[in-house]
A and B are shown apart, each in its own frame.
Chain A
Amino acid sequence: MENLELQKIANEVRKDIVTAVHAAKAGHPGGSLSSADVFTYLYFEEMNIDPKDPKKADRDRFVLSKGHNAPGYYAALAERGFFPKEDLVTLRHLGSYLQGHPDMKHIPGVDMSSGSLGQGISAAVGMALSAKLYGDSYRVYTLLGDGEIEEGQVWEAAMFAGHRKLDNLCVIVDNNGLQIDGPIDQVCSPYPIDRKFEAFNFHVINVENGNDMEQLRAAFAEAKAVKGMPSCIIMKTLKGKGVSFMEGSVGWHGKAPNDEEYEIAMKDLEKVGEALCQK
């Protein structure tokens, strides 16, 4: 798929995120928006998946280790056809299958339940290990927040993956630089992230702009070519990307827009969409 097409889909994903979080009156738009491009790239370009057969045995797996970005994940799954887009507005409502955090038991396309930070990467490692032990060819992707990597379990999992040379595993870190209590380098700095993963025997790929499809394409191609070690894509992104008043703002980590803010956000994204159509 062309980059422009992917960009258009990512913009639709962003509209879905804002719409779902607005309808839920709760949720996490900031990180969902910073990851919207990578969600799109994974589900529309990178991964071997089939929305008509979400559990097919040889599918590539994805674990959203930063589970609170479920709005972005669900939006990409819905856009890809795993479930109806109209259901997105039931996010976080009582009785909806679209739980606040990913629930593999009820959501088509979700490979692992997650939400408690630091745990998803271990499950992803288990999936990658399973493929290695039994000679399966699928790849496993997992997306972590840059605040999430403050969790010790992340490094237990990284140590194991490096030790076992799980080259079918691709860890992605969304380096949007912000966590709930403030900038990550002020709260409890995980920097340098690249040298940490290198020290844990990962092939590290730094992406200058993780909101750029061409850069994501190059990074995932490089990761796929790596043999003998797991890869880690550290992508710098903009938290809240695409919504003027959310961009780079700590406050929009886990807050829903009110009606007025929702109108502004959708107008921002409509403008982006129109500009993309002019290209």
Chain B
Amino acid sequence: MSEVKKIATRASYGNALVELGEKHDNVVVLDADLAAATQTGIFKKAFPERHIDCGIAECNMTGIGAGLATTGKVPFISTFAMFAAGRAFEQVRNSIGYPHLNVKIGATHGGISVGEDGASHQCCEDFALMRSIPGMVVACPSDDVEARALVHAAYEYEGPVYMRFSRLATPVINDKPDYHFELGKGIVLREGKDVAVIANGLPVAAALEAAEQLAAEGIQAMVINMHTIKPLDENLVIAAAKETGKVVTIEEHSIIGGLGGAVCECLSENYPVPVKRIGVRDVFGESGTAQSLLHKHELDAEGIHRQIKEFLAK
């Protein structure tokens, strides 16, 4: 087997910011003493005068972003998901969301794959928090190609966007000529009639692997990459439920309030079918390697495969 190309989407974020910075003079990147980790350091190197380090003060950074946006700039405020969505939640809600300001939030180190830092830094609540803010777009790309496309789309979109990126290097799966990214539009990666698997972020690659395995066992799983959680591609979710009658959601997030929650809300009101939510089961993470944590929480291909089989056997 040839070596699979792996890139962390936080690196994609930094690289895409440079591409944007070259094209658009109004792009300003803010960080809170994590430029090396969030990879906005790449932008800092290219455009030092437009990279603003706010120090370890995420709430203030969020407000500064709002102020910049009122003057027509397009700020990308960058920190770990835990602090962007968690610590600064109320600043995002009141200073960005309420006035619907054109601020982009680049939240890296989402989910348990943060690894060794442990539960304090493993944010599994950000989709739920950000999704509850009126007018907020929430997205989580599955690889490098999609992450870069998302950053560009976020710039083009007028309004607040929350983007969640990963620390862990992950396989590039969207490197295809027909790949097309559109905010709010899910992508069918694989057709299937037995079950619809709706995933986003890092577990999309694992979901594809699990689907391969299921196919070998005679189960045809449709796999949908739902990179945008809000606005949710409801038409696609309903169509998939109609086609398969059974839905599985997969995310590196709490099973409460994220992609699984959004899909359940949509289906319970429009086309109720059994849904299995795969994700972090209402627990805090812990220290460990990213791979060992994904395995423990059954978010690797093996765990996903097992859970889908169990769900289908019910």
Contacts of B73 in A (CB 8 A): 130, 133-134
A113-B95, A122-B91, A133-B49 given; A127·B68 CB < 8 A:
yes
- The smallest beta-carbon distance between B250 and chain A, in angstroms, is 36
Interface residues in B85-105 by Cβ distance below 8 A to A read 90-91, 94-95, 98-100
A122-B60, A125-B64 given; A130·B71 CB < 8 A:
yes
Contacts of A134 in B (CB 8 A): 71, 73
Inter-subunit contact A157/B60 (CB<8 Å): yes
**B204 at interface by CB-CB < 8 Å:** no
Interface residues in A159-205 by Cβ distance below 8 A to B read 159-160, 163
- The smallest beta-carbon distance between A26 and chain B, in angstroms, is 20
Inter-subunit contact B68/A122 (CB<8 Å): no
Contacts of B50 in A (CB 8 A): 133
Inter-subunit contact A122/B49 (CB<8 Å): no
Inter-subunit contact B94/A127 (CB<8 Å): no
Contacts of B55 in A (CB 8 A): 156, 159-160, 163
**B267 at interface by CB-CB < 8 Å:** no
Inter-subunit contact A156/B57 (CB<8 Å): yes
Inter-subunit contact B98/A113 (CB<8 Å): yes
Looking at chain A's contact residues, the main secondary structure is: helix
Interface size class, chain B: 20 to 34
Inter-subunit contact A122/B62 (CB<8 Å): yes
Q: Interface readout for A128-145 with B: 1 if CB under 8 Å, 0 if not? A: 111101101000000000
Inter-subunit contact B68/A126 (CB<8 Å): yes
Contacts of A63 in B (CB 8 A): 67
Contacts of B98 in A (CB 8 A): 103, 113
- The smallest beta-carbon distance between A40 and chain B, in angstroms, is 24
Inter-subunit contact A159/B99 (CB<8 Å): no
**A209 at interface by CB-CB < 8 Å:** no
Inter-subunit contact A126/B70 (CB<8 Å): yes
Contacts of A128 in B (CB 8 A): 67
Contacts of B100 in A (CB 8 A): 105
Inter-subunit contact B99/A160 (CB<8 Å): no
A104-B99, A160-B57 given; A123·B70 CB < 8 A:
yes
**A256 at interface by CB-CB < 8 Å:** no
- The smallest beta-carbon distance between B47 and chain A, in angstroms, is 11
Contacts of A163 in B (CB 8 A): 55
Inter-subunit contact A129/B95 (CB<8 Å): no
**B28 at interface by CB-CB < 8 Å:** yes
Inter-subunit contact B99/A127 (CB<8 Å): no
Q: Could you tell me the distance between the alpha carbons of A115 and B71 in the complex, rounded to whole angstroms?
A: 20
Inter-subunit contact A104/B70 (CB<8 Å): yes
Q: Could you tell me the distance between the alpha carbons of A160 and B60 in the complex, rounded to whole angstroms?
A: 9
**B54 at interface by CB-CB < 8 Å:** yes
Inter-subunit contact A119/B71 (CB<8 Å): no
Question: What is the total of A-B residue contacts with beta carbons within 8 Å?
Answer: 102
Q: Could you tell me the distance between the alpha carbons of A104 and B102 in the complex, rounded to whole angstroms?
A: 14
Residue of A nearest to B75 (CB): A126
- The smallest beta-carbon distance between A34 and chain B, in angstroms, is 24
Interface residues in A102-118 by Cβ distance below 8 A to B read 103-105, 111-113, 115-116, 118
Inter-subunit contact A123/B67 (CB<8 Å): yes
Contacts of B71 in A (CB 8 A): 126-127, 130-131, 134, 136
- The smallest beta-carbon distance between A64 and chain B, in angstroms, is 13
**B65 at interface by CB-CB < 8 Å:** yes
Contacts of A130 in B (CB 8 A): 28, 67-68, 71, 73
**B16 at interface by CB-CB < 8 Å:** no
- The smallest beta-carbon distance between B103 and chain A, in angstroms, is 10
Which of B59, B70, B91, B95 interacts with A111 by CB under 8 Å?
B70
A130-B73, A131-B71, A160-B54 given; A125·B63 CB < 8 A:
yes
Contacts of A126 in B (CB 8 A): 63-71, 75
Q: Could you tell me the distance between the alpha carbons of A128 and B70 in the complex, rounded to whole angstroms?
A: 11
Q: Could you tell me the distance between the alpha carbons of A152 and B60 in the complex, rounded to whole angstroms?
A: 10
Q: Could you tell me the distance between the alpha carbons of A20 and B50 in the complex, rounded to whole angstroms?
A: 44
Contacts of A215 in B (CB 8 A): none
Q: Could you tell me the distance between the alpha carbons of A71 and B18 in the complex, rounded to whole angstroms?
A: 45
**B188 at interface by CB-CB < 8 Å:** no
Interface residues in A26-41 by Cβ distance below 8 A to B read none
**B172 at interface by CB-CB < 8 Å:** no
Inter-subunit contact A123/B94 (CB<8 Å): no
**A206 at interface by CB-CB < 8 Å:** no
Q: Could you tell me the distance between the alpha carbons of A157 and B55 in the complex, rounded to whole angstroms?
A: 11
Between-chain CB contacts (< 8 Å), 21 pairs: A61-B70, A104-B70, A112-B99, A115-B94, A119-B59, A119-B94, A122-B62, A123-B66, A123-B95, A125-B63, A125-B67, A126-B71, A126-B75, A127-B68, A127-B71, A128-B67, A133-B73, A153-B60, A157-B60, A160-B54, A163-B55
List the 6 closest pairs (A to B, CB-CB), nearest first. Answer: A126-B67, A122-B63, A156-B60, A156-B57, A126-B64, A123-B67
Seen from chain A, the residues whose Cβ lies within 8 Å of a Cβ on chain B are: 61, 63, 103-105, 111-113, 115-116, 118-131, 133-134, 136, 152-153, 156-157, 159-160, 163
Seen from chain B, the residues whose Cβ lies within 8 Å of a Cβ on chain A are: 28, 49-50, 52, 54-55, 57, 59-60, 62-71, 73, 75, 90-91, 94-95, 98-100
